[in-house]
Amino acid sequence: MARKKSLWCYFFLVVLKETSASVECSFIDAQEIILMCIPVGVPDVILKLESLPLNGYTEMVLLRACGITELEHDSLKKTSLKYIDLSENRLKELDSDSLHNSPSLAYLNISNNLLSRLPVDLFVGNPHLLVLDLKNNFLGNLDVGVFDSLVQLHTLDLSWNLLLGKDLSSLLFVNNKYITYLSFAGNDMNGTPDSLLQSLEVLEVLDLNSCGITEVAKFATQSNLKTIKELNLSSNKISKLVNEEIFKNLHNLEILNLAHNELEHIDENVVAPLRNLKVFNLSHNELTYLSDNLFRRMLSLENIDLSHNLISKVEVEMFLNNPLKILNLSFNMFTFLPNTFSMSLRKPNANITEFYFHQNPWQCACLKEILYEVDHLKVTHKTDVPGYMRPICVTSLEMRCIRDDSVNDVFRNMYYNILDGNRIWNTIRDSSNRCLKPRLHTAHFRAVSKEVGR
C-alpha cells in the first residue's frame, strides 16, 4: 500500500521546568503515526515544547492537556501534518510562522489555551485548513486578514473568548465563503456590523448563545444567510420579537433556539417566514400567552419546547397545522388543558409521541383526564421530576375538571401556597391528621392555602 509507513517510535524530550515528561508516539491503525504526550493530562508539569522529532510521515500530533506553555521555533514545521490538537494547554501566544510549513494542515484545535491574540499571518501557509477551534481563549480582537488564507475553512469556533462584536471588521471573513459552522457563543456580540458575515455562502449553523444581545442580531439574518439551518440564540436578553423583517430570509431554518431569554410575547408575523422550522425552543422565557396563529404557518414543526414559561392557556387549533411529535408544556401555569387535547394531536398528519406537562398547578381532575389520554395513546410523559418537591395537583372536594379561566387563580393560589410552604400535597393534613379536602369556594381555598402555606 502506498501509504504504508514504517512504524518508528520516537521518544523525545519535551522540556522542562522541574520535571521532565515525555512525548511518545503511538499508532492508530498501524498506518498513521500520532504523537501524544504521556501521561495525558499531567496537571502541573510546565513544558516548553522544543522541536518535535516529526518525520516526513507524521500526520497527527495529539498534544492535548500536556501543560505546554510555549511552542519553540520550528516545532510544528512538517509538511505531512494534517491534524494538530494542542487543546487544553497553556499557550499564551503563537509565533507568526509556527504553522507556515504545514500546507496540508486540515484540522487545528487550540481550544482551551490562554491566547490573547493571533498574529495576522499565522495561517498564511495553511490553505487547506478545514476545522479551526479557538474556543475558550482570551482573544480580544481579530485583525483583518487573519483568516484570509483559509479559503476552504468550514468549521470555525470562536466561542468563549473576549471578542466585542462591535470591533469586528466586516472584512474579517471576506475569503471564508465556505464556512458552514460558526460559533461566537460567549462573546459580547452587541453592535456587530450587519455585514460581518456578508461573504458567507453556505453557512448552516450559527451559534450565538450567551452573546449578551437584546434583539435578534441583524448580522445573523442577512439575505446571503438563507442557507442557515440552525440558529442558536439561547441565553441572551431578547425581550421582544416584533421586527417583521427579521426572519424573512431564514426560510430554510430548521432549528431555532430562543431558550433562556426574556420573551413575553411573540408576534406571529415575525416568525411566519420560518416555514421549514422543525424545532422551536422557547423554554425559559416569560411568555404568558401564545397567539392563536403563532405556529400556523410552520408546516414542518415537529418539536415545540414551551417549558418554563408562564402560559396558562393553549387551544388545540394552535397546533393543527404542525406534524407535531414532541410538545413540552412543563413548568407553566396550566390548571387545565382543552378537553381531549392529546387525542387531537393524533390527527392524520400529526403523531405526538412525547408530551410533557408536569409541574403545572394542575387541577387533579384535569390531570387525571390527560393521564388517561396519554396512557391510552401510549404517549411518553412524566408526572414528576425527581428531586423537585412540588405538589402534583390540587383539588376541590368536587373531583371535576373545571375548564374555566375564572377559577385558574383559585387553583394556582392553592398550589403556590403549598409550594411556598415547601410541603408536598400528600403531607397536607389537618390538625386531626386527616387529609385536607378543600371545597371549591374561593374564600375557603384562600383560607386553606393560608393555613397550608404557614
Residues near ligand NAG (CB under 6 A) are: 64, 87-88, 109, 111-112, 131, 133, 209-210, 230, 232, 234-235, 255, 257, 259-260, 279, 281, 283, 303, 305, 307-308, 326, 328, 351, 353-354, 356
Nearer to ligand NAG, 9 or 310 (CB): 310
Minimum distance, C-beta of residue 154 to ligand NAG, in the bound complex (Å) = 11
Q: How far apart are CA 429 and CA 17, in angstroms?
A: 68
**What is the DSSP secondary-structure string of 185-200?**
TTSB-TT--TTTTTT-
Residue 195, C-alpha cell as written in the block: 455585514
Name which of 104, 94, 162 is nearest 129 in CA terms. 104
Nearer to ligand NAG, 152 or 169 (CB): 152
Minimum distance, C-beta of residue 175 to ligand NAG, in the bound complex (Å) = 20
Nearer to ligand NAG, 112 or 192 (CB): 112
Contact between residue 320 and residue 348 where contact means Cβ atoms under 8 Å apart:
no
How much is the CA Rg of the chain, to the nearest whole Å?
A: 29
Q: Residue 53: which H helix or E strand, with range? A: none
The count of other CB atoms within 10 Å of the CB of residue 434 is 8
- Cell 389520554, residue? 373
Name which of 399, 393, 387 is nearest 358 in CA terms. 393
Residue 67, C-alpha cell as written in the block: 501543560
β-bridge pairing 181-183 and 255-257 = unpaired
Question: If 0-12 CB within 10 Å is exposed, 13-18 middle and 19+ buried, where does residue 397 land?
Answer: exposed
Using CA atoms in the order 358, 363, 368, 374, what is the torsion angle rounded to 10 degrees?
Answer: -40
Minimum distance, C-beta of residue 283 to ligand NAG, in the bound complex (Å) = 4
Nearer to ligand NAG, 283 or 417 (CB): 283
Nearer to ligand NAG, 283 or 363 (CB): 283
Minimum distance, C-beta of residue 110 to ligand NAG, in the bound complex (Å) = 8
Nearer to ligand NAG, 91 or 414 (CB): 91
Nearer to ligand NAG, 144 or 279 (CB): 279
What is the number of the residue whose Cβ is closest to ligand NAG?
A: 328
Instruction: Report residue 440: phi and psi, to 5°.
Output: -80, 85
Minimum distance, C-beta of residue 208 to ligand NAG, in the bound complex (Å) = 9
Nearer to ligand NAG, 65 or 393 (CB): 65
Minimum distance, C-beta of residue 257 to ligand NAG, in the bound complex (Å) = 4
Instruction: Report residue 219: phi and psi, to 5°.
Output: -65, -15
Minimum distance, C-beta of residue 16 to ligand NAG, in the bound complex (Å) = 24
Contact between residue 337 and residue 357 where contact means Cβ atoms under 8 Å apart:
yes
β-bridge pairing 131-133 and 107-109 = parallel
Minimum distance, C-beta of residue 209 to ligand NAG, in the bound complex (Å) = 4
